[in-house]
Amino acid sequence: MKIRIKYAKTGVLRYIGHLDVMRYFQKAIRRAGLDVAYSQGYSPHQLITFAAPLGLGVTSEGEYFDAEMNSLTSSEDMVTRLNATMAPGMEVKDIVQLKEGEKTAMAVVAASDYLITCREGYGDIHDFTDVLDAFYSQERIEVVKVSKTKETQMDIKPFIYKLEAGENGIYMLLSTGSVDNIKPELVMEGFCHYLNRDYQKLAFRVHRLETYMRNEAGELVSLLEAGVHFHES
Amino acid sequence: MERLALSDEILMAVEKPARYIGNEVNSVIKDKSSVAVRFCMCFPDAYEIGMSHLGIQILYDMFNRMEDVWCERVYSPWPDLDAIMRQKEIPLFALESQDPVREFDFLGITLQYEMCYTNILQILDLSQIPLIAIERGETDPIVIGGGPCSYNPEPIADFFDLFYIGEGETVYGQLLDAYKENRKNGGTRYQFLEKAAEIEGIYVPQFYDVTYYEDGTIQSFEPNNPHAKRKIRKQVVMDFDSVPYPMKPIVPYIKATQDRVTLEIQRGCIRGCRFCQAGAIYRPTREKNVELMKQYALEMIKNTGHEEITLSSLSSSDYEGLPDLTEFLIEEMGKLKVNIALPSLRIDSFSLDVMKRVQDIKKSSLTFAAEAGSQRLRNVINKGLTEDMIREGAMKAFQGGWNKVKFYFMVGLPTETEEDLKAIPELCEQLAVDYYTIPKEERIGKVSITASSSFFVPKPFTPFQWASMNTEEEFLEKAHYVKEHFFQQKNRKSLSYRYHDADLTIMEGIFARGDRKLAPAILQAYQNGCMFDAWHEMFHQEIWDQAFEDHKIDIDFYTHRERPVDEILPWDFIDIGVSKQFFIREWERAKKAEVTPNCKQKCSGCGAAGFGGGVCFENKN
């Protein structure tokens, strides 16, 4: 049986990279005494997979991983046990049991939304929100995407599902996942370019709000929708 | 702890910011207004190295069990952050509270290897604490050194207010009480140091004067303060089962070098290898109760969530409860899916059986710490391992399916000849020959025998403390000679040989048996840019050469020179409970290649029985 865990990563935990977060949860699961399943062999590892990696320095209240379990208690009990062993800044928000036949979180991630604010001393976010519509209403938004091996020019407009002024910041809903993974930093880089400003990565704080999958109707819904709460039988 | 000492910009600009944020699982947060003493514990190297060290975890736990003490940690900032902190004048801070180290009552620095000496100066400098002890003021922390290198603290004596000689679990309570008492009475820093100097095991370097003969050797070493003792006696835990042990060690976020639960099963070693300082300074050998170890294992895994557990001791095979403990661990850790990492065990049927059950033979290798190639030289160093034992052990393993062997040797040992060096490749060749006597269908492919050698450094409180150390040229010449002879073996394609760097070894040799005259050179090397010397890519030989030249330091005086046994050695003021007479006897026996039995076979009267416990009083023979 598979469960899906939703957690928030905030505060100083933003300085912990993705691989270390994975190691962190493996140890936390053992401390909490959850009956997780292991691989076979001399160095057994827990059967857990994470949804969408979060960059260093980014905070989030909508992170997910899946775990294969041997047995379950209740959603509530497992949340409580995990939270009893969390470091400040990491909080388990919810746990559901995946319905039969559901794919892993990593496979179904379709989008994430973010709130972007300006870091203190790095300008005013209103410089951006005031001209947001002009930027977003362009027919094409061309950026240079740099990967380990090459640089590619691409139009990211189709992958920006929403871009609007939010409270003290910019709200954006972006395509996420293994196919068209658009990072909020890339959008801000394109925005700066549009405004003829230097892009400084450090100028913006990024906070992920939620990670989404598509339901049968093709609508974006929370990754929790793939499962149900469970209770002690 | 949301408040961090470093800004977001800085943390995002440096490598591995998780090194500097604290907040790890099981780290201890107290209310600073409700504690009497704030102690900052330092391992002067990178976070990942320091977080792997058991001793710090033991002391951190011990201090934090004291209600009115808050112990925190600090490690060496990596050079990228170091540069930013200097430029922006950010004071070095402790991880837990993120408060500046200079606001603490104590800064305790563990001295695990000689090549960390410039990092000590980095820590003090970034903390904005005067580097020289006698220049510190009333508000500066008391800087304490401890750990293996404090058994010859003289090269760095100028930088420390005091050294704690011995095991940390014993007199820290007394020391902190003296500190609180002195503060209550409005006493000065100097008055506290006088009180501290009266406590067993505490050495206050500024209370001693050293004079030298014209040739540089010590003429006299005398207390200059009535509170200072003539001899500092090493502190030892005798009730080993009842000292506190960290049940909740800190779990780092980033991968530490040793990322696992460590059970300390034994302290000390019965073997008496003549090159080994640990074997002498941790005498007498004491074991922990095996039932206690089982209980600790379960509790510590539960409290950390680590996926691996290991044993700590100088020689696990000599631990009486080993079969019982390994059986328990294989059973219980198996249920919890926790790996068992076994420290190098003596290769015999028992250890092979255990290894087979906890690891994949195809991936694992046999390890022999033979230390010397010839039997004669193994007798000189009193390594109780014979060629027959090695061959028998290896053969059993080959028949059991192993085909990888690792050998550790030392090059540059006292009395070493070309014959002894040639014996290194010959011993490796012999094992290869033995392997190929197994019928083809019963063995699994080719054998792989890897030998690596380090260069020998004579250490204080060993029978070799008087010995001549090889020069860099001699070391390299010998290593090349060994390598050449590897190429001449019939099975050379199954053998490989590597040797360590000789330049760092020479530095280690200078500091290991150094005296107070070295301090100005260390200071200069640091000021000219040396730190993280143990990281070979950051080691600057030319800066050190200049520093030694400017301070008229003759390297051979410290390394190559054989000392007469009646010379006053810089560390003679320390009494480790093992007599100088014993070391002289052992030095003489070594030169005659005479083996001395281990502590369980026969007591050789080293003096450690004076501590009144441990192996000296078990099954008296």
Retrieve residue B103's tokens.
Answer: 């606001």
- B423-473 pLDDT, tens per residue? 999 999 999 999 999 999 988 899 999 999 999 999 999 999 999 999 999
CA angle A115, A117, A119 (to 5 degrees): 145
Which chain B residues are closer than 8 Å to A15 by Cβ? 11, 17-18, 21
Retrieve residue B165's tokens.
Answer: 């000689």
Q: Which of B2, B25, B254 sits opposite A11 (nearest CB)?
A: B2
Which chain A residues are closer than 8 Å to B254 by Cβ? 16-17, 20
CA–CA separation, B22 and B96 (whole Å): 5
B4 touches chain A (CB under 8 A): yes
DSSP category for residue B355: H
**Within this chain, do residues A130 and A180 fall inside the same structural domain, yes or no?**
yes
**Yes or no, beta carbons of B305 and A26 under 8 Å apart:** yes
B29 touches chain A (CB under 8 A): no
Asked if residue B158 lies in contact with residue B516, where contact means CB atoms within 8 angstroms, the answer is yes
**Within this chain, do residues B374 and B323 fall inside the same structural domain, yes or no?**
no
Please determine, for residue B621, whether its predicted confidence score (pLDDT) is greater than 50.
no
CA–CA separation, A159 and A182 (whole Å): 7
B431 touches chain A (CB under 8 A): no
- The helix-helix angle for B172-184 and B54-65 (nearest 10°) equals 50
Helix, strand or coil, per DSSP, at residue B298: helix
**Within this chain, do residues B143 and B195 fall inside the same structural domain, yes or no?**
yes
* Residue B514: inside a domain: no
B364 touches chain A (CB under 8 A): no
Please determine, for residue B158, whether its predicted confidence score (pLDDT) is greater than 50.
yes
**Within this chain, do residues A20 and A59 fall inside the same structural domain, yes or no?**
yes
Q: Which of A27, A43, A56 sits opposite B304 (nearest CB)?
A: A27
A87 touches chain B (CB under 8 A): yes
Asked if residue A157 lies in contact with residue A139, where contact means CB atoms within 8 angstroms, the answer is yes
Which chain B residues are closer than 8 Å to A207 by Cβ? none
* Residue B506: inside a domain: no
Asked if residue B504 lies in contact with residue B115, where contact means CB atoms within 8 angstroms, the answer is yes
CA–CA separation, B500 and B410 (whole Å): 10
Q: Which of A24, A43, A44 sits opposite B253 (nearest CB)?
A: A24
**Within this chain, do residues B102 and B200 fall inside the same structural domain, yes or no?**
yes
Asked if residue A176 lies in contact with residue A211, where contact means CB atoms within 8 angstroms, the answer is yes
CA–CA separation, B10 and B19 (whole Å): 13
- A106-132 pLDDT, tens per residue? 999 999 999 999 988 888 888 899 899
**Within this chain, do residues B27 and B164 fall inside the same structural domain, yes or no?**
yes
**Yes or no, beta carbons of A38 and B359 under 8 Å apart:** no
CA angle B436, B437, B438 (to 5 degrees): 85
**Within this chain, do residues A169 and A209 fall inside the same structural domain, yes or no?**
yes
> How many CA atoms lie within 13 Å of B318's alpha carbon, on the beta-carbon side?
20
* Residue B141: inside a domain: yes
A84 touches chain B (CB under 8 A): no
Q: Which of B12, B23, B25 sits opposite A12 (nearest CB)?
A: B23
Is the bond leading into B79 cis (omega within 30 degrees of zero)? no
* Residue A139: inside a domain: yes
- B100-129 pLDDT, tens per residue? 999 999 999 999 999 999 999 999 999 999
**Within this chain, do residues B79 and B184 fall inside the same structural domain, yes or no?**
yes
Expressed as residue numbers, the domain containing B90 is 8-233
**Within this chain, do residues A44 and A62 fall inside the same structural domain, yes or no?**
yes
Three-state SS string over B189-203 comes to HHHHHHHHHCCCCEE
**Yes or no, beta carbons of A28 and B305 under 8 Å apart:** yes
A20 touches chain B (CB under 8 A): yes
In chain A, positions 109-128, which contact chain B (CB-CB < 8 Å)? 119
* Residue B317: inside a domain: yes
**Within this chain, do residues B365 and B494 fall inside the same structural domain, yes or no?**
yes
A30 φ, ψ (degrees, to nearest 5):
-70, -40
For position B600, what pLDDT does the model report?
94
Residues B531-541, mean pLDDT to the nearest whole number: 96
* Residue A203: inside a domain: yes
**DSSP letter for each residue of B537-594:** GG--HHHHHHHHHHTT--HHHHTTPPPPTTSBPTTTTEE-SS-HHHHHHHHHHHHTT-
**Within this chain, do residues A72 and A166 fall inside the same structural domain, yes or no?**
no
* Domain harbouring B182, CATH code: 3.40.50.280
- B545-572 pLDDT, tens per residue? 999 999 999 999 999 999 999 999 999 9
Return all residues near A149 (Cβ < 8 A) that are at least 6 apart. Answer: none
**Within this chain, do residues B379 and B491 fall inside the same structural domain, yes or no?**
yes
Q: Please identify every stretch of chain A with a pLDDT value under 70, giving residue numbers as ranges.
A: 233
DSSP H or E stretch at residue B495: strand B495-499
A43 touches chain B (CB under 8 A): yes
Helix, strand or coil, per DSSP, at residue B208: strand
Dihedral over alpha carbons A159, A11, A69, A78 (to 10 degrees) = -130
Expressed as residue numbers, the domain containing A178 is 108-214
Q: Chain A: nearest CA to B71, how far in angstroms?
A: 19
B375 touches chain A (CB under 8 A): no
Q: Is B216 exposed, middle or buried (0-12, 13-18, 19+ CB in 10 A)?
A: middle
* Residue B565: inside a domain: no
Domains in chain B, number: 3
Which chain A residues are closer than 8 Å to B21 by Cβ? 12, 15
Please determine, for residue B619, whether its predicted confidence score (pLDDT) is greater than 70.
no
Q: Chain B: nearest CA to A214, how far in angstroms?
A: 33
**Within this chain, do residues B423 and B470 fall inside the same structural domain, yes or no?**
yes
CA–CA separation, B539 and B529 (whole Å): 10
**Within this chain, do residues B454 and B483 fall inside the same structural domain, yes or no?**
yes
B3 touches chain A (CB under 8 A): no
Residues B34-59, mean pLDDT to the nearest whole number: 97
Q: Chain A: nearest CA to B10, how far in angstroms?
A: 10
**Within this chain, do residues A80 and A122 fall inside the same structural domain, yes or no?**
no
- B328-384 pLDDT, tens per residue? 999 999 999 999 998 878 888 899 999 888 888 777 888 999 999 999 999 999 998
* Residue B245: inside a domain: no
Q: Which of B150, B235, B276, B196 lies closest to B586 in space, CA to CA?
A: B276
Q: Which of B18, B23, B337 sits opposite A88 (nearest CB)?
A: B23
DSSP category for residue B251: B
**Within this chain, do residues A114 and A85 fall inside the same structural domain, yes or no?**
no
Which chain B residues are closer than 8 Å to A30 by Cβ? 301-302, 305-307, 336
CA-derived radius of gyration, chain B: 25
Retrieve residue B68's tokens.
Answer: 């009115």
* Residue A233: inside a domain: no
**Within this chain, do residues A114 and A139 fall inside the same structural domain, yes or no?**
yes
CA–CA separation, B209 and B576 (whole Å): 21
For position A147, what pLDDT does the model report?
78
CA–CA separation, B382 and B369 (whole Å): 13
B83 touches chain A (CB under 8 A): no
* Domain harbouring B588, CATH code: 3.30.750
* Residue A199: inside a domain: yes
Which chain B residues are closer than 8 Å to A56 by Cβ? 12, 17
Picking from B8, B84, B354, B360 by the largest number of A CB atoms within 10 A of its own CB, the best residue to mutate is B8
For position B146, what pLDDT does the model report?
97
Q: Which of A12, A29, A43 sits opposite B4 (nearest CB)?
A: A12
CA–CA separation, B235 and B132 (whole Å): 26
Which chain A residues are closer than 8 Å to B22 by Cβ? 12
Which chain B residues are closer than 8 Å to A119 by Cβ? 8-9
A35 touches chain B (CB under 8 A): no
**DSSP letter for each residue of chain A:** -EEEEEEEE-GGGGGS-HHHHHHHHHHHHHHHT--B-B-SSSS--B-EEESS---TT-EEEEEEEEEEBS----HHHHHHHHHTTPPTTEEEEEEEEEPTTPPPHHHH--EEEEEEEEPTTS--THHHHTTHHHHHTSS--EEEEE-SS-EEEEE-GGGEEEEEEETTEEEEEEE-SSSS---HHHHHHHHHHHTT----GGGEEEEEEEEEEE-TTS-EEEGGGGEE-----
For position B226, what pLDDT does the model report?
98
Please determine, for residue B620, whether its predicted confidence score (pLDDT) is greater than 70.
no
For position A136, what pLDDT does the model report?
95
Which chain A residues are closer than 8 Å to B25 by Cβ? 27-28, 31, 85, 87
**Within this chain, do residues A208 and A223 fall inside the same structural domain, yes or no?**
no
Q: Which of B441, B311, B330, B427 lies closest to B369 in space, CA to CA?
A: B427
- Average pLDDT taken over every residue of chain B: 96
* Domain harbouring B365, CATH code: 3.30.750.200
Q: Which of B4, B11, B305 sits opposite A27 (nearest CB)?
A: B305
**Within this chain, do residues A202 and A145 fall inside the same structural domain, yes or no?**
yes
For position A58, what pLDDT does the model report?
96
Q: Which of B44, B39, B45, B5 lies closest to B22 in space, CA to CA?
A: B5
A24 touches chain B (CB under 8 A): yes
**Yes or no, beta carbons of B307 and A27 under 8 Å apart:** yes
Return all residues near B537 (Cβ < 8 A) that are at least 6 apart. Answer: none
Q: Chain B: nearest CA to A25, how far in angstroms?
A: 9
**Within this chain, do residues B407 and B331 fall inside the same structural domain, yes or no?**
no
* Residue B351: inside a domain: no
Q: Which of B175, B207, B5 lies closest to B92 in space, CA to CA?
A: B5
**Within this chain, do residues A209 and A222 fall inside the same structural domain, yes or no?**
no
Q: Which of A13, A42, A202 sits opposite B360 (nearest CB)?
A: A42
- B6-29 pLDDT, tens per residue? 999 999 999 999 999 999 999 999
**Within this chain, do residues A144 and A100 fall inside the same structural domain, yes or no?**
no
**Yes or no, beta carbons of B23 and A26 under 8 Å apart:** no
A53 touches chain B (CB under 8 A): no
Question: What is the count of residue pairs from A and B with beta carbons less than 8 Å apart?
Answer: 79
For position B552, what pLDDT does the model report?
97
Minimum Cα–Cα distance from B25: chain A residue: A87
**Within this chain, do residues B329 and B207 fall inside the same structural domain, yes or no?**
no
Q: Which of A13, A29, A31 sits opposite B302 (nearest CB)?
A: A31
CA–CA separation, B110 and A101 (whole Å): 55
Minimum Cα–Cα distance from B339: chain A residue: A43
Picking from B253, B259, B301 by the largest number of A CB atoms within 10 A of its own CB, the best residue to mutate is B253
Residues B604-614, mean pLDDT to the nearest whole number: 95
Q: Which of A211, A82, A90 lies closest to B18 in space, CA to CA?
A: A90
* Residue B569: inside a domain: no
CA of B16: how far to CAs of A14, A175, B1, B430, in Å?
12, 28, 18, 47
B65 touches chain A (CB under 8 A): no
Residues B75-98, mean pLDDT to the nearest whole number: 98
Return all residues near B7 (Cβ < 8 A) that are at least 6 apart. Answer: none
CA–CA separation, B425 and B495 (whole Å): 8
Please determine, for residue B135, whether its predicted confidence score (pLDDT) is greater than 50.
yes
**Within this chain, do residues B277 and B193 fall inside the same structural domain, yes or no?**
no
